Structure formats: structure tokens, C-alpha cells
């Protein structure tokens, strides 16, 4: 196993299982929210009530006889007559390490914490058949029912988590268990196909392979916390006998091209929480969800959740990497204001699990951070009010202009450079832990086909989903198309802003309604909608980029860079051969990018 996979395995534990794992560097202020530790700035906020906690580990037996490992953390010296809510965290990355100590934040404020190993992982028995399999999800609901029946419980259950545990928080809501009242899912996938694993239908090969190998290491490593009665490890040894039956996610991913393929034993829609939106709506669970502009497709997942479901939502998109362990904003300044996000989570749970009036907004809101401007903003609509989709055309001499080209057959030829890369610290790699760092893109852009604007005459705010329209010909029947939106300052430094990708095979824009209601062209990624390229024939690829909110300064220039591969992250398409494409920039093929410009 490579050093990078070992490092990723460790980071799976640190970044993705730690309920409160984050650095002070990313505790950025949501200016429209109360801030800091001062209880006077939180309506109804109470100081910690307990100074210590007790913990015990045990098995709960599920409906089919499978024993699930559970870690219960309670405030120490909890009065016998006091009833408290519980917060669940459910994972396939170990609920706790053998020598680990519980975080006292929530128990200190009068909450029980319940950590759960997914079946077939950690110290639990059973087989992990697939991510978020139906049996796994049913287990979580059974644990919630057990919690509500405990003598210390006030009957209210919440859930919090990051990454896999963020997904399981939403899955718990989908069970419609009446005890579950509020969840805080962070940095999750709403659509398990078209987000982290297959953005635009292109497999994030390195990430999925590394994630899979990291999980295999966790599944057979005895460092997980054993249940208290397992003093000789015999129960753990028995539980792990079937770990070889756990799903090889990478092998299944390599066999999956379309959304309705079943290499995972299920279609990816069956394993995607977006398919259960009606159940989550019916549950009426309150949602306080978080994502990061520089974390894979989590900003899009937050927006999809916000648009698709009517539940109360307090949605937040910050300038973060995966798990908000880093402020990845390339424009950040020392003057950025900060707040402990832990207290925002406490404020939310106090309201919904304890019934304390903490001054939350009555209606759902989306809080988002505009990089470059360094400001938090809030909206109840997406696109935000004042958005105007503004076309920027690909024009002669590699220019990007507001004026459409007038030639009849002009085009730019580009032979795909399979050495092109966004590096090993990009928005997709952070999904298995680590920082997001995009170096100056000036040299890398020399490998790509680029279009650059003149210096901007005024500041320009771009907030929303840019949409690319490429009219191309190709020498091959398939290919991956990457679009990068970049900012060039007065000194020529090229700063990455966002990106989008689309596999040409999936280019058909569906006439059906998107189940996630995004304001971008809808690609179904279904077999029935497959559309191979015809070599030499003009084809249109129209697709959205990952959303962003950025203020590009006066005097800077915008750049669109086109690639056919990202070698450190994505699978090569096609597997063999080197396609040459021609990007049309003429009256019959108006290649462009539409930017969501905010008019003040």
C-alpha cells in the first residue's frame, strides 16, 4: 500500500469521523448569525452543565440477528430524573478508536452522544454490502428507537456527521423515525452518481480507489474500540470473519458507466439519498447542512438539498475543504472574522432537541461566503436575487469576449494533453482528507486550450452555476471535457475558481424534469440517453460547472481553460488513443460560458 493510501486511511479517521474535528483557522463568522462564546449573544443559550462524561461500548442486536457496535457517551453525574436528548453519529470509519476519549462538548451541554459502526465495519458484525445499503439504514433507525426508550432520554434524537456520517444523518431522516427531529449533515453527497464519484459522468478514479483501499485497511485493523465485554477480542475476531465479503467499491466503480448500471448490487439511485427526498420531507426533520466551495461537489449537494426539499433548512456553504478543516479560499485575509461553528451546531440542536428559543430564522435560509469580497451573505432563493446569466464567447486569438463571433467556420484545434493536471491537492482529493491547494495555473494552462478576457472595467460578482456550451468536433466517439474558470491578476497569476466536467457519451440534455431541481442543463446519465460522438460531426456539450461565489476585481481578467483529462484524479477517456478536438467559435457554433453575474 502506498504512503498516500496510508495517509488517506489515517485522514479518514481524523477528518471524517471526528464530530467536532476542525481547526480554528476555518471558524469563519457568519455575519448574520450570533458569534462567539458569549451566552448573551445566543438567545436561550446555556453554559455547559457537566464537566465530565462516562462512556460504554456494547452490542445491539438488530431485527435479523446482526450485532451492531454502539458507543454511548453520557454526562457524568446525570441526575436520575433529568431527561436529555441524544445525538447520533453513524459511520463505516470506526465509531471510536480503542484508546480514544470522547469529545466533551455536547455531553457537557447536556446531550447523550451515540456512535454506531455500520454493519460489517468497525466492531460490528454482518457484511457491508454497499454504501448506505437498505439494511445499514434500517439499523440506524433501530438504534434511534432504542435511544428513545432509554430512561435518560427525552425522546428526541438528532444526528451529526461529516462525509460518510453526513450522508448517514440524512439517511436516518429518510427512515421517518418519529424520534428523529433534527440533523446536521456536513460535506455529503446528495446524488451518489453525479457528485463525488462521477461528476459529469467521469470517474474520479484516484479518489475512489484510495477511499476503497483505506476502507479495506480499517476493516481488518484491530485498533477500533471493542465492546466492553470483549476483553479477549474473541467477539471482534468473530465479527471480522466475513470482512472479505464487504463490497469492493473500486471494482464496482470501474464497471459502472451509467446511473442505472447495477455493479454495486443496486443502481446508484437506490444508494442515493436524493431518491428518498419525499420521505425526508414527510419526516419534517430540521436540517442544518454544511458544504465547502472547494470540496468536491458538496456545494452542489447543499444547493440540491435546499432546492429539492421543503424541510426547514439552515444551509451553509463556506470557503472550505472537506470537513472544513481548512479555509481553502485563495483570497483570504488576516482580517477575516471567526466564530466557533460548534456553538452554531449547539444553537441548532438546543432549539430542535431541547425546545429552547435560540433565535433561529423562521424560514429556511442559505448562508454563503463570497470569496474575494470576504463577506457572508444570505438568501432564500437560488439563483440569488439579481442574478443575470451573462454570455462570454470564445473568440479569435484565444479571446473571451462579450461580443459573439461572426465568422462562419472559425474553430480552434486542440490535441488532448493527457499530462494535464490540477494537482494532488485539488477539490476531489480532499474527499479522503487533506488540504486544497491550487498553485498558480499559468504554466499548467499552457497545456490547455484557453480563452482570456480583457481586463475587467469594474468588480464583477459571480454567484451561482456557470454554464458552458461547447460546440466541438472530435476524432473519437467519446471523451472527457473539463472546463476551468480562472482569475488572472495584474501580475499574470492564474487563480483557480471552479470547474465542470462532462463525459461526451452523456451529453444529451434530458427533456425530463431533474429530480434535484438545479438551474442547469439536466443530464440523466441513463443508458437510454447515451449519445456517442460521431467523428468529424459537430456536437454540442452543454453543462453546468460547480457553483461558486466570488468577487473578481477590477483590472483582473477572466479565463476559461479547456482540458480533456486531469491525470492525477480522473479516469482516462478514451482509454486508448489521443483525440483531437476542434472548438467551434462561429455563427453556427457559438461556444461560450454563461456566468451568473450579480447586478447590484
Positions annotated as catalytic residues are 163, 295, 322
Report the alpha-carbon distance of residue 560 to residue 62 in Å, rounded.
53
Question: Which single residue is written with the C-alpha cell 448569525?
Answer: 33
Smallest CA-to-CA distance from 270 within 261, 282, 280 is with 261
DSSP 31-55: TTS--SS-GGGSTT------S-EEE
The owner of cell 462521477 is 198
Which residue in 549, 535, 539, 453 sits closest to 502, CA to CA? 539
Label residue 225 exposed, middle or buried (CB < 10 Å: 0-12, 13-18, 19+).
buried
By the 10 Å C-beta count (0-12 exposed, 13-18 middle, 19+ buried), 76 is classed as middle
Evaluate whether 338 touches 24 at the Cβ level (below 8 Å). Answer: yes
DSSP 8-class letter at 12? H
Q: Give SS3 for 257.
A: coil
Q: What is the 3-state secondary structure (H, E, C) of 312-379?
A: CEEEEEECECHHHCCECCCCCCCCCCECCHHHHHHHHHHHHHCCCCCCCCCCCEEEEEEECCCEEEEE
Distance CA 377, CA 481 (A): 32
- Phi-psi category of residue 327: left, alpha or beta, with phi > 0 → left and psi -120 to 50 → alpha: beta
Residue with cell 439499523: 139
Closest listed residue to residue 185, CA positions, set 286, 289, 115: 289
522: region left, alpha or beta (phi > 0 left; psi from -120 to 50 alpha): beta
Q: Alpha carbon of 588 to those of 453, 473, 484: distances in Å?
A: 22, 13, 24
For residue 494, what are the contacts with CB-CB under 8 A and spacing of at least 6?
A: 440, 441, 442, 445, 486, 487, 488, 559
Amino acid at each position: 500500500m502506498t504512503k498516500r493510501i496510508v495517509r488517506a486511511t489515517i485522514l479518514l479517521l481524523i477528518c471524517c469521523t471526528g464530530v467536532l474535528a476542525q481547526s480554528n483557522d476555518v471558524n469563519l463568522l457568519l455575519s448574520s448569525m450570533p458569534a462567539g462564546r458569549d451566552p448573551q449573544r445566543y438567545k436561550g443559550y446555556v453554559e455547559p452543565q457537566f464537566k465530565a462524561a462516562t462512556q460504554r461500548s456494547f452490542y445491539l442486536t438488530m431485527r435479523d440477528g446482526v450485532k451492531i457496535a454502539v458507543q454511548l457517551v453520557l454526562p457524568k453525574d446525570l441526575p436520575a430524573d433529568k431527561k436529555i436528548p441524544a445525538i447520533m453519529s453513524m459511520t463505516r470509519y470506526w465509531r471510536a478508536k480503542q484508546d480514544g476519549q470522547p469529545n466533551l462538548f455536547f455531553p457537557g451541554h447536556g446531550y447523550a452522544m451515540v456512535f454506531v459502526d455500520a454493519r460489517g465495519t468497525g466492531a460490528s458484525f454482518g457484511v457491508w454490502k454497499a454504501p448506505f445499503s437498505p439494511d445499514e439504514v434500517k439499523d440506524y433507525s433501530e438504534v434511534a428507537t432504542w435511544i428513545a426508550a432509554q430512561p435518560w432520554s427525552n425522546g428526541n434524537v438528532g444526528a451529526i456527521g461529516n462525509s460518510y456520517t453526513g450522508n448517514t444523518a440524512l439517511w436516518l431522516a429518510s427512515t421517518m423515525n418519529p424520534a428523529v427531529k433534527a440533523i446536521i449533515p456536513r460535506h455529503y453527497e446528495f446524488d451518489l452518481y453525479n457528485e463525488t464519484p462521477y461528476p459529469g459522468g467521469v470517474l474520479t478514479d484516484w479518489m475512489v480507489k484510495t477511499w476503497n483501499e483505506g476502507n479495506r485497511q480499517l476493516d481488518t485493523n484491530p485498533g477500533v474500540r471493542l465492546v466492553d465485554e470483549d476483553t479477549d477480542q474473541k467477539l471482534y475476531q468473530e465479527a471480522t470473519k466475513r470482512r472479505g465479503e464487504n463490497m469492493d467499491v473500486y471494482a464496482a466503480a470501474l464497471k459502472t458507466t451509467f446511473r442505472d448500471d447495477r455493479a454495486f448490487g443496486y443502481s446508484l439511485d437506490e444508494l442515493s439519498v436524493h431518491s428518498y427526498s419525499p420521505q425526508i420531507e414527510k419526516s419534517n426533520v430540521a436540517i442544518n447542512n454544511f458544504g465547502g466551495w472547494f470540496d468536491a461537489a458538496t456545494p452542489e449537494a447543499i444547493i440540491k438539498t435546499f432546492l429539492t426539499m421543503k424541510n426547514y433548512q439552515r444551509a451553509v456553504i463556506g470557503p472550505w475543504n472537506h470537513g472544513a478543516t481548512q479555509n481553502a479560499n485563495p483570497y483570504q485575509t488576516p482580517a477575516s472574522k471567526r466564530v466557533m461553528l460548534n456553538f452554531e451546531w449547539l444553537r441548532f440542536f438546543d432549539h430542535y432537541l431541547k425546545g429552547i428559543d435560540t433565535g433561529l430564522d423562521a424560514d429556511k435560509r442559505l448562508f454563503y461566503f463570497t470569496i474575494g469580497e470576504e463577506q457572508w451573505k444570505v438568501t432564500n432563493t437560488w439563483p440569488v436575487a439579481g442574478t443575470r446569466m451573462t454570455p462570454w464567447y470564445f473568440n479569435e486569438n484565444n479571446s473571451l469576449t462579450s461580443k459573439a463571433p461572426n465568422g462562419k467556420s472559425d474553430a480552434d484545434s486542440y490535441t488532448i494533453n493527457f499530462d494535464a493536471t490540477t494537482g494532488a491537492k485539488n477539490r476531489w482529493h480532499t474527499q479522503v482528507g487533506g488540504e486544497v491547494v491550487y498553485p498558480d495555473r499559468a504554466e499548467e494552462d499552457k497545456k490547455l486550450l484557453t480563452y482570456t478576457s480583457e481586463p475587467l472595467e469594474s468588480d464583477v460578482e459571480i454567484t451561482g452555476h456557470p454554464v458552458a456550451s461547447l460546440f466541438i468536433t472530435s476524432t473519437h466517439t467519446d471523451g472527457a471535457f473539463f472546463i476551468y474558470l480562472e482569475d488572472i491578476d495584474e501580475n499574470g497569476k492564474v487563480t483557480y475558481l471552479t470547474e465542470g466536467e462532462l463525459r461526451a457519451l452523456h451529453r444529451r440534455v434530458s427533456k425530463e424534469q431533474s429530480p434535484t431541481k438545479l438551474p442547469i442543463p439536466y443530464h440523466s446519465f441513463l443508458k437510454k440517453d447515451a449519445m456517442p460522438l460521431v467523428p468529424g460531426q459537430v456536437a454540442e456539450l452543454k453543462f453546468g460547472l460547480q457553483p461558486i461565489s466570488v468577487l473578481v476585481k477590477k483590472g483582473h481578467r477572466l479565463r476559461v481553460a479547456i482540458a480533456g483529462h486531469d491525470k492525477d484524479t480522473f479516469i482516462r477517456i478514451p482509454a486508448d488513443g489521443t483525440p483531437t478536438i476542434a472548438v467551434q467559435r462561429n455563427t453556427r457554433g457559438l461556444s461560450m460560458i454563461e456566468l451568473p453575474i450579480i447586478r447590484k
